[in-house]
Amino acid sequence: MQKISSNEREQLIEQGFLVIPDVVPKALCERSAAALCEFIGVDPENPSTWHNYVTHGHGIVPLHHHQALWDVRQLPQLHEIFSAIYQTQKLWVTFDRGSFKVPSSFHESDFRMNAVHWDGNPRAPNEMAVQGLIYLTDTPAEKGAFAMVPELYRTLDQWIAAGRSDQEVRRPDVSGYPLVPVGGAQGSLVIWHRRMPHTSLANNSNEPRLVQYVSMDPVGSEESRERIARECIEKRPPAWAIRQLVAGQLNPEPGPPVKLTTLGKRLAGIEPW
């Protein structure tokens, strides 16, 4: 079973990220990739269909509750990794989605890479909180890989103390910092601290980039458990996803109820820990 050491946990805290290879088996990666492609009507082997999903930014696919995505989320080895990070078995998994990022050549001339950002408030107390993604295909740096600004992560408290506007916090000026890409082989898990400013690079390859976002957090209140359990059972996207108004978002999502293992039911809040 995949685990991480205490040294790797310390590396995550100090450096702000961790790459763990061979977490998700090839077959499960391929099933998740196929689910994302089917949802948006593209064939990853047929470039003529990629024009069906040319979007700016990260190419978000608003699919949350497909069985293939859940089969990845409820992998015991994935839970073990997040448990080692948070130092507790009692976790809930996020109902996140995936991404299909076309090669940059498919974009109009005004295409630009998404701005470096945080998905939360970097002014919040510095506590252990992480995000993650699975590379569903081999993803070298030039294929639109995850990218980060580790120098700003290391000096974030000083940066904030300088007195930053809300606009600066939403879209920090990182022109003076090196942007570091983090590629990985199929099945690799990339985890980053939520205080790490990040983005994904332009896809300068000839193939689409496919990823599945997945994170876990320590359990919360009974009210929260009931809410997320209901979202899973009814196959509804989380509230934060609905607010983003991504084109194609369905609420609820079609199809049969997801099949969950005992671990999956706990991760979804359906059964208490």
Query: pLDDT tens for residues 57-98?
Result: 789 999 999 999 999 999 999 999 999 999 999 999 999 999
Where on the phi/psi map is residue 16: left (φ > 0), alpha (ψ -120 to 50), or beta?
A: left
For CA atoms 9, 10, 16, 17, give the dihedral sign: negative
Rounded-to-10 torsion of CA 261, 265, 268, 271: -170
- Print burial letters for 155-169: b (CB count within 10 Å at least 16), e (below 16): ebeebeeeeeeeeee
Long-range Cβ pairs for the range 249-254 (8 Å, 24+): 249/62, 250/62, 253/63, 253/64, 253/65, 253/66
- pLDDT category of residue 1 using cuts at 50, 70 and 90: very low
Instruction: Please state the separation of Cα 50 from the chain's center in Å.
Output: 22
State the burial class of residue 1 (Cβ atoms within 10 Å of its Cβ: 0-12, 13-18, 19+): exposed
10-26 tens-digit pLDDT: 999 999 999 999 999 99
What tokens were used for 235? 């196959």
Phi and psi of 53, rounded to 5°?
Answer: -140, 55
For CA atoms 26, 32, 37, 38, give the dihedral sign: positive
Bridge partners (DSSP) of residue 216 are 93
What tokens were used for 205? 């390859």
Residue-level pLDDT at 93: 98
What tokens were used for 44? 């990853």
Under 8 Å between Cβ of 141 and 183: yes
225-272 tens-digit pLDDT: 999 999 999 999 999 999 999 999 999 999 999 999 999 999 999 999
Residue-level pLDDT at 58: 80
Domains and CATH numbers, the chain: 6-267 (2.60.120.620)
Of 91, 77, 84, 121, nearest to 217 (Cα)? Answer: 91
Give the C-alpha separation, 239 to 119, whole Å: 15
